Amino acid sequence: MSYLVLARKSRPQTFDEVVGQKIIVRTLQNALAAGRVPHGLIFSGIRGTGKTTLARIMAKALNCEQGPTPTPCNTCSSCRDIGAGASVDLHEIDGASNRGIQEIRDLKENIRFMPTSARFKIIIIDEVHMLTSEAFNALLKTLEEPPDHVYFMFATTELHKVPVTILSRCQRYELQRVGRRELAAHYTRLAESEGITIEPAAVDLIVREAAGSVRDGLSLLDQVFSYCGDEVKAEEVAEVLGLVSDQVIADLGEALLAGDISRAMEQLNQVYGYGMNIKRFTSELLSWFRHLLFCCLNKEPGRLLDLPQEDIARFAEIAGKYPLPTVYGLFNILLEGLERANYSSQPRLAIEMAFIGAVQVGDVQPVSELLVRLDKIIAGAGQEIFMPSSSEPPRKKKVDQPAPGDISEKAQTEFQADPVKEQKTEQVQTAKKQTLAGKDAVAVTSDGPPSEEKVTNHAEKKLEPVQRTTMGLRDIKRRWPAFIDYVRDRKPWMAATLQKAVTVTLEN
Ligand SMILES: [Zn+2]
């Protein structure tokens, strides 16, 4: 007895058996029930999602002796003939090998005659996008006004290659990738019917590999059944398909998040031991982080992620442990590093570098928080170090209000050997505002001390009033380097920023 592969053995014979595509199935059944089936249908979608299967079930439904019916009986001679591929009124044409104008002429000649035994002639053209443009043109007229006894059903994986003139004459059905849950349920049922016990984790691996294509998964399942016998375990599936199990990827991801580089390297070593394809591995790891990121972002990740419930729960648990910016930062570094690994002559080295870069991320703090903290530090430092002591009353010399453009002159008149403490209060505040105001600062020069040329009215408007001081610009300039030295001893990074400070305005 010849062996029938699962994909053929388990091909759906009725609408109910179709895996996924619920909306399309319902639309077709409604059209059949209402007698509103158009004479041209086109099914598009990735390989193995059920395009030809749906076309064949439609053929059955239209030609069933009980029909046309949304539920073909599968027992009448017409249904059985179509099921066995023996119906004389069902023409299945492979568009890839019969793509010329002559084939279409022959077809047109053929459909001039009434069906032999069934109600309708059904023409199924698979991979219809492969037809030549002449062939398409030859079809146009027939599609425009098809004979009552003919139905055209086209299937294509590349809808964009089908001329618009054809598309506009057909009703379009775009098949979706089949969801993981549906695939898992389908494969588990199949294994049961074959008398094989299969671990849920093993099914998950196959479902992951199938990537939404029922047939791809079935081919893998065939391979796995041959290798494993009556009992299928996840490790064996990983072995036979050359996959890394989810657990290894998850361990690796968690090691990176925890900043445990040695554990991450150990896991990487293990992955290499499996001889896994680098591209595959990097894409697995990245999709792990993507799932985690979705769980960080969303309260109900199940609606966005097509994953088993327990996987989502696990991701949500990990997401609870790490703040979003950390996961995001790490994901970003990995994305860049692993992408590089795919093109590197030393992929392993590139991956290791990406890991090392990733663990450096640590806990990421939002900039807004850092700025608030910086603000506090500066304010605290100003009060502690530079504020005049209570015994020393603040000096405020009242002078005539100078014209706005006249600040430097005013500063000169005010300059009266004032205490260092007040001078520094203003400098600290000026520097702080430049740090925070960023682009509002007029100019940043590297030659250190503030310069009066930079004073502008524009900046004056943007800044808040500075504490009154009787310090002159020249004095500030003179004492600025000493002040920076003072800061450098305490906060080297802040000293570097202050060195670039310029005077924006000097008030009162
Ligand atoms: Zn029937």
Tell me which of 501 and 342 has the higher pLDDT. 342
Whether the Cβ atoms of residue 273 and residue 240 lie closer than 8 Å to each other = no
d(CA 308, CA 301): 11
CATH architecture of 246-359: Up-down Bundle (1.20)
CATH code at 6-174: 3.40.50.300
Tally helices (H) and strands (E) across the chain. Answer: 23, 7
CA 334 to chain centre: 14
Kindly report, residue by residue over 72-81, the tens digit of the pLDDT: 999 999 999 9
Tell me which of 57 and 269 has the higher pLDDT. 57
Distance 178 CA to ligand 1 centre (A): 28
Distance 72 CA to ligand 1 centre (A): 5
- Domain 180-241 of CATH type 1.10.8.60: yes
Kindly report, residue by residue over 164-191, the tens digit of the pLDDT: 999 999 999 999 888 888 999 999 999 9
Mean pLDDT of the 146-160 span: 93
Whether the Cβ atoms of residue 504 and residue 441 lie closer than 8 Å to each other = yes
Packed helices 473-490 and 492-499: angle between N→C axes, nearest 10 degrees = 160
Nearest to 83 by CA among 98, 64, 111, 70: 64
Distance 2 CA to ligand 1 centre (A): 27
Of the pLDDT bands very low, low, confident and very high (cuts 50, 70, 90), residue 365 is low
CATH topology of 6-174 equal to that of 246-359? Answer: no
d(CA 471, CA 450): 13
Nearest to 130 by CA among 104, 156, 169: 156
Return the pLDDT at 445.
40
Return the pLDDT at 323.
84
Q: What is the mean pLDDT of the chain?
A: 79
Tell me which of 381 and 287 has the higher pLDDT. 287
Give the lowest-confidence range in 23-27, 108-112, 365-369. Answer: 365-369
d(CA 92, CA 330): 52
Distance 148 CA to ligand 1 centre (A): 20
d(CA 204, CA 234): 9
- E strands within 170-246? 171-174, 197-198, 231-232
Packed helices 200-210 and 234-241: angle between N→C axes, nearest 10 degrees = 30
Tell me which of 308 and 108 has the higher pLDDT. 108
Distance 449 CA to ligand 1 centre (A): 94
Distances (CA, A) of 58 to 1, 67, 149: 30, 11, 14
Give every CB contact of residue 191 below 8 A, 6+ residues apart in sequence: 197, 198, 203, 221, 225, 232
Beta bridge partners of residue 300, listed in sequence order: none
Give the lowest-confidence range in 101-105, 163-167, 448-452, 471-475. Answer: 448-452
Distance 61 CA to ligand 1 centre (A): 7
Distance 367 CA to ligand 1 centre (A): 69
Distance 83 CA to ligand 1 centre (A): 10
Mean pLDDT of the 9-34 span: 92
- Domain borders along the chain are 6-174, 180-241, 246-359, 367-499
Distance 4 CA to ligand 1 centre (A): 24
Q: Count Cβ atoms below 10 Å from residue 43 Cβ, excluding itself.
A: 29
Cα angle, residue 398 at apex, residues 396 and 400 outer, rounded to 5°: 150
Q: What percent of the chain has pLDDT over 70?
A: 79
Tell me which of 347 and 501 has the higher pLDDT. 347
CA 223 to chain centre: 31
d(CA 423, CA 365): 33
DSSP character for 409?
Answer: H
d(CA 212, CA 177): 4
Mean pLDDT of the 35-50 span: 92
d(CA 305, CA 392): 66
Place of tokens 């998964």: 217
Side-chain-side CA neighbours of residue 400 (13 Å)? 5
Q: Which two tokens stand for residue 261?
A: 């580089």
Return the pLDDT at 466.
44
